[in-house]
Amino acid sequence: MDYVLSRDIHLAPSPVYSLVRKAEDNMLPYQWEALNDRLSEGPKSYSVRNLRAAAGEIDAPHAGAVFQDSDLFKWIEAAAYALKRERNEELEKKIDWLVALMRKAQLPDGYLDTYYILTDISKRFTNLRDHHELYCLGHLIEAAVAYYEATDKKDILDVTLRYVELVNATFGFEEGKKQGYPGHEEIELALVKLYRVTRDPMHLDLAKYFISVRGTNEYFDEEAAARGDKPAWAWSVYSHRNRYYQADEPVAEMTMAKGHSVRQLYLLTGMAELAYETGDEKLKAACDTMWKDITRRQMYITGAVGQSAYGEAFTLDYDLPSDLVYGETCAAISLYFFASAMLKSHPLGEYGDIMDTLLYNGTISGINEDGTRYFYVNPLECIPKRSKFSQSVFHVRTQRQPWYGCACCPPNIARMLTNLDERLLFKAKDTLYVNLFASLDAETRLDGGIAALTEETSYPEDGNIRFRINKAFSGFTLALRLPGWVQTYNLKINGQNPPCVMDEGFIYISDLKDGDEISYILDMPARLVSAHPASYATVGKAALMRGPVVYCLEEVDNGNELWNVLIKPDAPFTVSADERFGTVITAPAFRQKKDGWDEYELYAPLRRPAYQEFTARFIPYRLWNNRGEGEMRVWLRLKEN
Amino acid sequence: MDYVLSRDIHLAPSPVYSLVRKAEDNMLPYQWEALNDRLSEGPKSYSVRNLRAAAGEIDAPHAGAVFQDSDLFKWIEAAAYALKRERNEELEKKIDWLVALMRKAQLPDGYLDTYYILTDISKRFTNLRDHHELYCLGHLIEAAVAYYEATDKKDILDVTLRYVELVNATFGFEEGKKQGYPGHEEIELALVKLYRVTRDPMHLDLAKYFISVRGTNEYFDEEAAARGDKPAWAWSVYSHRNRYYQADEPVAEMTMAKGHSVRQLYLLTGMAELAYETGDEKLKAACDTMWKDITRRQMYITGAVGQSAYGEAFTLDYDLPSDLVYGETCAAISLYFFASAMLKSHPLGEYGDIMDTLLYNGTISGINEDGTRYFYVNPLECIPKRSKFSQSVFHVRTQRQPWYGCACCPPNIARMLTNLDERLLFKAKDTLYVNLFASLDAETRLDGGIAALTEETSYPEDGNIRFRINKAFSGFTLALRLPGWVQTYNLKINGQNPPCVMDEGFIYISDLKDGDEISYILDMPARLVSAHPASYATVGKAALMRGPVVYCLEEVDNGNELWNVLIKPDAPFTVSADERFGTVITAPAFRQKKDGWDEYELYAPLRRPAYQEFTARFIPYRLWNNRGEGEMRVWLRLKEN
């Protein structure tokens, strides 16, 4: 199964379209200013400056994190996806300028990493564990592939290929090469993408090498000893055999997500992409096992992953505290990439369900309404004063920030959003899969011929989706994802109940003809959701959802001390359109009163609480913190009587 | 008000006596082996070895933490309290040997800290922030005072006084002295104790200096800059003006407990002792404010304090998570010291209530049944597998340990327990205060004459306390603490209801005569307790207590996933004597069933849980983890219908 590409799709207004526009119109220009150190607030990026210095254009020391180049590469990739929809001379001029700088900065042997070029080049490739050279190259590859695909300009690809040649000459199983692998995975998935453009078997083999060598040797510790450094993460839950870097066992044997969550998920995405390309069943099986572990035992209801701020990492099954969660925006994005790679190998609705969850909750919560303020951490509960005094939640910023010293998330969400159109529809043989719902016109070639359709929807504001088949051929099948949360739906073709097959989360409709009209209505009532009772942090609590959208309470609407708000299991919910937040939900709720308690008493004989009824107002979680600092909460206690 | 001293008290068998015996018979000998590096397990102490090396007896580098000397001093202090009850040649020989080593190790100018003597003496007093010289001296002073009081031997006092002279010559407001103060408070309270023995005003003035200079200058940062070091705790909740060290404001202006909890509490104890000695009303008021903040807003139900593992520190009001808590054994002990110092200035029952809570819960949980295995951290909830995979609770050891690299807690609890007899009774003018309940004979001089009594009790196993007045004088008043948890009690003198006055948590009984028999029966039913609803971690939950004792569930009795155990507000409790655990409590409870949930589902439309009734068995919290590793939980969800 493959993506239906941007060139085959024309987006029309819908919530998806608004996100794409926000990314193109607001995020790309804003982030360009940030990367050029022209914001009036927040930490500087230095990433353009570093590149200019490495190119010899200016005299400046390297500044910022060792992986600062990657922010620039992700921005190029994000911009390239925009160019796929519409060429833009001004934007291309910027990128061409950057590519020219890269060419000047690149060393004769192909090396291109501004940190080592501007510091001590003799130390390059001596600290794969911490210094992210291969991670940055991965992002360069993704940028190069995207920009080449968008514009047919080969310069960036040439620069990239020379660097990849050097890496291939340096690392590998062959005699004389280092048997190293990156501390931060990313290059694996990028090399598979590169292979799809170049069809050079070396690129696929190098991806295979980086994936299969991982966890089979003691490279990180040997490399550390060689430079007089110590093993990492001593005296921590990650101390065992570099498990923080997913290096404690061969990747095909992994059963539980561990360590840094973005790294774990980029690795899995690379594994899934490679398995898709090579048909490697063992790798595919490991991906399946890990998919289940992550989405069924280590994922928050918003799609957020990475329960631990310490190390930005996974912890253990069913450990899902709403307050401690890291839920890095990048981690949610990387789970979206993993889901999307998994879907290619296997048309299972569940993958799209998780993408839907991520798109409307845990990724997009990372940006504010106009896309120019960012959360790195996405908690499911915020008590602002607690973040000021308790280190456990010090990582929870109580306001989105203009930029970060480590600004991986802003350009990452930009590239996810500008590329959104290429994850809406998938195709395999004669079947066109509708994965995410958006208004669009699409015309694409399947095995048996060309199919074209129009889709119209305001999803996820409501569940009404209409299709018109504009072109069909004999054998053409349309597969509509039926989200797992749907209890009832209504599917009609030209007003009739169609014959159709339901399989693994998709409804397959065959025998479609030009002009057929499909009405696909997903009932989308507000609903309370429970978590598995093995999840200690959520027992006795419920979260409010509607369709794929998770809702939350904010202090500005509901007062403070939100932990004292309870909801009845059978509460009647009122769903209303809201100009600012799309759809808001109100319901009678109960506030535990403080009668009988005063500041002079901390513990007292059991007091049966009294409650005050009030109307709680829920807004979509992704839109929290757009009205100033305040408490926020997703999981509410239940009032059982 | 002052303590009734050891020499006036003879303990008889009771729970208090058992604790004292455990400390004398098991802890002191075991810890002596530990301090001499003769344990077969656990990290080495090196503290005796360091002293021997500093004395030139052996050739060895300094090893262990910079404050390792303090463990030895605390052990001497603990042993000295035992000697107050009964002289012991063998024990004194050990201490005299240590004192002789100290004398040899002491530099000509009085300096005595093995870390700097064995490393670079030119660097002494250049890092008060981190290197704990004054903290160690504080413990030396306490040891010296105790050993001198127990034996009249002056050697240790001489050594100590010479070191104190040097410190007094080095630090102070006077021209030419450094205006420094310790990063870890302790010397303040110790100097007040020393003053009580020496009556040398310099000792009191030096205590005053260390307390009043604190937070009025930028000493730590200036000192750090001078040695080329950076300010501490950057990028943390402690970054503001060294608040971690209680150095961000003058101590009399403090309103919220902050930073390292043992330091905060030793400082407060020093302030309270100084205020008691000098009558400083401003200092006393600050102590009152801080007492309220700690015990009414930052203290766990077990008396544990220090909510944050990061920095072993206080966080903020009403932040009382059962899982994240640090609850260092030393912090609970230091709160016990603070309470005891406060009680001297003001006969308020509440101080004794907290001492009671600490004695039977949050301090004693730090040792196992025989006193030779130790917890540093005392959580109110333990999920062993979580401690292995989540750094948030990595500090929660799931089994008590034979020793620690930083072994501050074991000798600290030893000195608290061997000195227990001196915190049972207090006296002021003609009144004898019964603060903690224990079986004993006491005979002590009050202003108006000598009073003597016999007390018999098994408290806290039951609430029956009997007194017999063996000697009284005209005007003699007995004040019995009426614990705050008591709902009903029965007080009889010679079988009659006595005339008595109830004031601030004490029942004052006058006109007592020789031979009077007092029966004081505190009803001690099992009771559920709520926490203030501002405490987000405990809302909707209850804890089980009986008298001052907090109970818990353990996996070995109740199965795992204890977060799924609920209790009804009106549950009938059965209290039974238990050979091993004193008093255990059983009650019908409810286990939330997992019907309908499987491993393939993490979130699902609200499921009304089904429950299975079972008999839950509660044991005293202080005795948890004596039957192997397993889950433990104090706060249980309530089943309201």
Domains in chain B with CATH codes: 425-522 (2.60.420), 526-638 (no CATH)
Pick from B289, B395, B530 the residue to mutate for testing the A interface (most A CBs within 10 Å). Answer: B530
CB A3 within 8 A of CB A423: yes
Cα B337-B339-B342 angle, rounded to 5 deg? 110
Residue A641 pLDDT more than 80?
no
- CB of B527 less than 8 A from some CB of A: yes
pLDDT, mean of residues B47-60: 98
CB atoms inside a 10 Å sphere around CB B527? 16
pLDDT recorded at residue B437: 98
pLDDT recorded at residue B594: 87
Return the residue of B nearest to A388 by Cα: B237
Pick from B317, B392, B393 the residue to mutate for testing the A interface (most A CBs within 10 Å). Answer: B392
Point out which residues pair with A478 in neighbouring strands.
A432, A509
Enter the tokens of residue B573: 């409790």
How far A388 CA lies from chain B's nearest CA (Å)? 6
pLDDT, mean of residues A580-586: 97
Question: In which residue are the tokens 């109580």 written?
Answer: A398
pLDDT, mean of residues A373-378: 97
pTM for this model (two decimals): 0.96
Partners of residue A238 in chain B, C-beta under 8 Å: 391
Higher-confidence residue of B596 and A357: namely A357
pLDDT tens, position by position, A181-227: 999 999 999 999 999 999 999 999 999 999 999 999 999 999 999 99
Q: In the structure, what pLDDT confidence band is assigned to residue A599 with cuts at 50, 70 and 90?
A: confident
Q: Do B391 and A310 touch (CB under 8 A)?
A: yes
CA dihedral A144, A149, A154, A159 (to 10 degrees): 10
DSSP structure class, residue A245: G
CB B46 within 8 A of CB B92: no
Count CA within 13 A, CB hemisphere, residue B637. 23
CA-nearest of B330, B336, B305 to B319 is B305
pLDDT tens, position by position, B56-82: 999 999 999 999 999 999 999 999 999
pLDDT, mean of residues B108-117: 98
pLDDT recorded at residue B557: 98
CA-nearest of B308, B323, B390, B385 to A313 is B390
pLDDT recorded at residue A465: 98
Residue A594 pLDDT more than 90?
no
Distance between CA atoms of residues B95 and A143, nearest Å: 72
pLDDT recorded at residue A640: 85
Partners of residue B237 in chain A, C-beta under 8 Å: 388-391, 394
DSSP structure class, residue A141: H
CA-nearest of A32, A60, A252, A217 to A128 is A217
Distance between CA atoms of residues A287 and A489, nearest Å: 31
pLDDT, mean of residues A36-63: 97
pLDDT tens, position by position, B216-251: 999 999 999 999 999 999 999 999 999 999 999 999
Residues 6+ apart with CB under 8 A from A584: A575, A576, A578, A617, A618, A619, A620
Give the E-state strand segments of A306-410 in sequence order: 381-382
Q: In the structure, what pLDDT confidence band is assigned to residue A403 with cuts at 50, 70 and 90?
A: very high
- CB of B389 less than 8 A from some CB of A: yes
Provide the sign of the torsion angle of the four alpha carbons B539, B542, B548, B550, taken in this order: negative
Tell me whether residue A235 is exposed, middle or buried, using C-beta atoms within 10 angstroms of its C-beta: 0 to 12, 13 to 18, 19 or more.
Answer: exposed
Q: Which parts of B446-516 fold into alpha helices (H)?
A: none
pLDDT recorded at residue A600: 82
pLDDT recorded at residue B182: 98
DSSP-assigned states of every residue in A426-492: EEETTEEEE-S---EEEEEEETTEEEEEEEEE-TTSS-EEEEEEEE--TT-EEEEE--TT-S-EEEE
Enter the tokens of residue A206: 């190098």
Higher-confidence residue of B135 and B599: namely B135
Pairing of strands A636-638, A565-567: parallel
Q: Do A299 and B602 touch (CB under 8 A)?
A: yes
Q: Which parts of B366-430 fold into alpha helices (H)?
A: 384-389, 409-418
Enter the tokens of residue A634: 């997703």
Portion of chain B with pLDDT greater than 90, in percent: 98
Residue among A310, A388, A602 minimizing CB distance to B237: A388
pLDDT recorded at residue A242: 96
CA-nearest of B425, B440, B301, B435 to B358 is B301
pLDDT recorded at residue B27: 98
Residues 6+ apart with CB under 8 A from A418: A20, A23, A24, A28, A78, A79, A81, A82
- CB of A548 less than 8 A from some CB of B: no
* Start-to-end C-alpha separation, chain A: 50
How far B137 CA lies from chain A's nearest CA (Å)? 30
pLDDT, mean of residues A374-385: 97
pLDDT tens, position by position, B26-46: 999 999 999 999 999 999 999
Predicted ipTM of the assembly: 0.95
Pick from A361, A382, A530 the residue to mutate for testing the B interface (most B CBs within 10 Å). Answer: A530
Q: In the structure, what pLDDT confidence band is assigned to residue B598 with cuts at 50, 70 and 90?
A: confident
- CB of B595 less than 8 A from some CB of A: no
CB B456 within 8 A of CB B481: no
Enter the tokens of residue A602: 């901390």
pLDDT recorded at residue B595: 82
3-state secondary structure A40-86: CCCCCCCHHHHHHHHCCCCCCCCCCCCCCHHHHHHHHHHHHHHHHHC
Residues 6+ apart with CB under 8 A from B230: B224
User: Rg for chain A (alpha carbons), in Å?
Assistant: 25
CB atoms inside a 10 Å sphere around CB B152? 8
Residue A546 pLDDT more than 80?
yes
CA-to-CA dists, residue A371 to A25, A152, A359, B2, B113, angstroms: 9, 29, 14, 66, 58
DSSP-assigned states of every residue in B420-449: GGGGTEEEETTEEEE-S---EEEEEEETTE
Q: Do B301 and A603 touch (CB under 8 A)?
A: yes
Portion of chain A with pLDDT greater than 90, in percent: 98
- CB of A507 less than 8 A from some CB of B: no
CA-nearest of B258, B420, B394 to B333 is B420
Point out which residues pair with B427 in neighbouring strands.
B2, B432
pLDDT recorded at residue A417: 98
Residue A250 pLDDT more than 90?
yes
CB A177 within 8 A of CB A170: yes
pLDDT recorded at residue A11: 98
- CB of B307 less than 8 A from some CB of A: yes
Q: Do A603 and B530 touch (CB under 8 A)?
A: yes
State CA B209 to chain mean position distance. 25
Provide the sign of the torsion angle of the four alpha carbons A266, A267, A273, A277, taken in this order: positive
Tell me the residue type at A230: K
Residue A486 pLDDT more than 90?
yes
- CB of A595 less than 8 A from some CB of B: no
Q: By mean pLDDT, which of A106-115, A230-239, A544-553 is the weakest? A: A230-239
Residues 6+ apart with CB under 8 A from B158: none
Residue A96 pLDDT more than 80?
yes
Active site residues of B: 312, 408
pLDDT, mean of residues B324-334: 98
Residues 6+ apart with CB under 8 A from B288: none
CA-nearest of B548, B416, B424, B546 to B480 is B424
Enter the tokens of residue B534: 């501002």
pLDDT tens, position by position, A47-56: 999 999 999 9
